[in-house]
Structure 1
Amino acid sequence: MGQVLKKCPVPIVGLMLGLAATGNLVQSYGEVYRNIFGLVSAILLILMIAKMIKYPKGVAEAIDNPVVGSVFPTFSMAIMILSTYVKPYAPQFAFVVWIIGLAIHVILILWFTKKFVLNFKVKQVFPSWFIVYVGIVVASVTGPAYGMSTVGKLSFWFGFITYIILLPIVTYRVLKVKEMPEPTLPTLAIFAAPASLLLAGYMNSFQTKTMAIVWVLMVLSIFMYVVVIIKMFNLLKLKFYPSYSGFTFPLIISGIAMKLTNGFLNKSGQGIGFLQYLIKFQEVVGVIIVLYVLLRYVQFLLPEKAVVSDSAKISK
């Protein structure tokens, strides 16, 4: 177990977030499915906390990397989502956990801004920068469960404004500057996340909705999703990197956003027929990709443990 803990890469927090979100995506098919994904996510949370306790220097060195540092806030995003799993059984404890997740995310925003934004270098910009700033919109998705819609609204507007600022910068870096090292290429899938997360947050935190915002975010969400799905054909040909975790949450939150939007449009008498088919597609693809990335991580973490064990036996 010690070897697994030591080898466990910090970017696994992205998979932890993807699993927690997947539980919510499949909840309509039964609580048991939601709980299974939530349990696996919780196990990864415990694993990462244990790693931070046992190898604090290693984790600190890892997040000094602009890619890993910008992916790390998925840790606090996952905490906020996982708190909702606990809420039916221990509401007060769940609320405290949610507050902790939100506080950690705010701290990470301040830390990242000081370290990387104030010392701006365009080649240190990656799609994972969306996670840092737009990621706080998870508070918009989960906040209403705790009666924190006001915090959810503030988080939404912060994420919305920073998305508008970041989108041209990140797009310019990816399309014009290029020169992204191969291990960072899976982060391209993150392009599918911000608009969808904003859409989901808007659906949950705003009782009165402006249709222009709904339509803009929905069209942008679908467009980004299609672009990423097309790109995935090449990205999945890459050898395994810990950044594979970037494949998970973007595809899942796209499905959640469409589910919430479809429900809203149907209730308001503005339903769009094709959305139900798009949602089914997003559910199937999202779950398959999450399970695939989970399997690749298991394969990545376990073999060396076996080798170490065999070596230990031989040495004896």
Structure 2
Amino acid sequence: MFKILLYKLPVAVCGLMLGTATLGNFFFTLNFNIGGYLFLLISILLTILFCTKCCIYSNEVLNELSDQNIGATFPTFTMTIITSVYIMWHQLQLHYLILVVIWWCMVFLQFIMICWFCYYHFWKQKHTKWIPNTSWFVTFVGIGVISETAIDFNRLFGKVVLCIAAVCCIVLLLFILHGKTWQLYNNTQLPMVIILAAPVALCLNAYLTITTQYSNIIVVVTIILSQCLFILTLYFVPQLKRIGFVPTFSALTFPWVTTAMSLYSVIEYLPSNFIILMNSFRVVFVIETLIATIAVIYVLFNYARWMRLQILMNIKE
């Protein structure tokens, strides 16, 4: 039965791994340590399961990665480990050299994944028409997670990576919003439209984490844009409800958690005399945190049900 579980475990579960790790980090930041430990543990268990699948059923994983959208979201794997290592180092104060080594290895692997994606889906398939979609944010803007966590490993490197992520974010956002390219998604891919909420919020949170001198203009523009994109993604929820659960629902986790985290960072950034604005943001923050937490729990629960169904169907066959 365990082998069936591994065989049926989709690559899309990496999005859920990242979502639970990020929510765990968020809860530690809010001093809700029980929630932090719980979701960190869930993320680590899922990561171990997926790593085991990669070792035993590597061909199946490679077959899934041949799909452009699945391949584009694969860096969520390294982003998960980077986030988990940061939690152990920063939140739990486990200052072991092995964590530094793992962090740098995952950073290197993430850039390898980007190069692989470009080679396999651009260079190798040069005659295929390229249409950027929301899944591409994970590949090219997901490196913002490196910047978010670099404060404990290499601040200068984190700033450089943030600049690259910000440029990629602007270019992709303009192209995707103008072309509404998410309309090309089929029903099993549509949940990935929620990724639209992540890039600006991720860059904003990384900016407030890694820099010491802030630009008010950058903060104002990015917080407004990130909140607008969050609201836009809520528009797709009724459509997703009609579709029913599919593995790509994991895309609902990280973007919404990141949006709530970025708003929290802005609240911490605001001067104490901005009382009305701060209180307004706090109300929105509570709502977004509830939505993000419910989304993660919902996806976790439905993933467990979906995997159970897959195992039972396989046994009957």
TM-score, with length taken from structure 1: 0.92
Asked if 2 retains the 8 angstrom alpha-carbon contact of 1:23 and 1:33, the reply is: yes
1:200 aligns with 2:201: no
Distance in 1, matches of 2:197 and 2:151, equals 24
- Cα-to-partner distance string for 1:136-173 (whole Å, 9 max, x where unaligned): 01011111023x11111111100000111111222344
Distance in 2, matches of 1:6 and 1:70, equals 21
Cα 1:193–1:268, aligned 2, differ >3 Å: closer, same or farther? farther
Asked if 1 retains the 8 angstrom alpha-carbon contact of 2:6 and 2:53, the reply is: yes
- Cα-to-partner distance string for 1:41-95 (whole Å, 9 max, x where unaligned): 0011101110110011111111111010011111111111000232223432221
Distance in 2, matches of 1:216 and 1:280, equals 21
User: Alpha carbon RMSD of aligned pairs, Å?
Assistant: 2.0
Asked if 1 retains the 8 angstrom alpha-carbon contact of 2:200 and 2:225, the reply is: yes
- The residue number in structure 2 matching 1:19 is 20
Q: Which moved more, 1:37-46 or 1:232-241?
A: 232-241
1:218 aligns with 2:223: yes
1:264 to 261, 269, 275: 269
Count of aligned pairs: 309
Asked if 1 retains the 8 angstrom alpha-carbon contact of 2:14 and 2:74, the reply is: yes
Cα 1:84–1:158, aligned 2, differ >3 Å: closer, same or farther? same
Distance in 1, matches of 2:267 and 2:248, equals 31
- The residue number in structure 1 matching 2:285 is 279
Shift of 1:125: 3.1
Instruction: Supply the AA of the counterpart residue of 1:66.
Output: Q
1:37 to 27, 36, 39: 39
1:99 aligns with 2:99: no
Shift of 1:306: 4.0
Q: Which runs of 5+ in 1 are unaligned?
A: none
Structure 1 consecutive aligned stretches of length 4 or more whose deviation exceeds 6 Å:
none
TM-score, with length taken from structure 2: 0.92
Instruction: Indicate the percent of aligned positions where both proteins have the same amino acid.
Output: 25
Cα 1:48–1:256, aligned 2, differ >3 Å: closer, same or farther? same
Instruction: Supply the AA of the counterpart residue of 2:199.
Output: P
Q: Which runs of 5+ in 2 are unaligned?
A: none
Asked if 2 retains the 8 angstrom alpha-carbon contact of 1:186 and 1:244, the reply is: yes
- The residue number in structure 2 matching 1:185 is 190
- The residue number in structure 2 matching 1:112 is 117
- Cα-to-partner distance string for 1:227-266 (whole Å, 9 max, x where unaligned): 1122223223312211111111000000001101110113
1:65-214 superposed matches below 5 A: 65-87=67-89, 88-118=93-123, 119=126, 121-122=128-129, 125-146=132-153, 148-174=154-180, 178-214=183-219
Asked if 2 retains the 8 angstrom alpha-carbon contact of 1:244 and 1:293, the reply is: yes
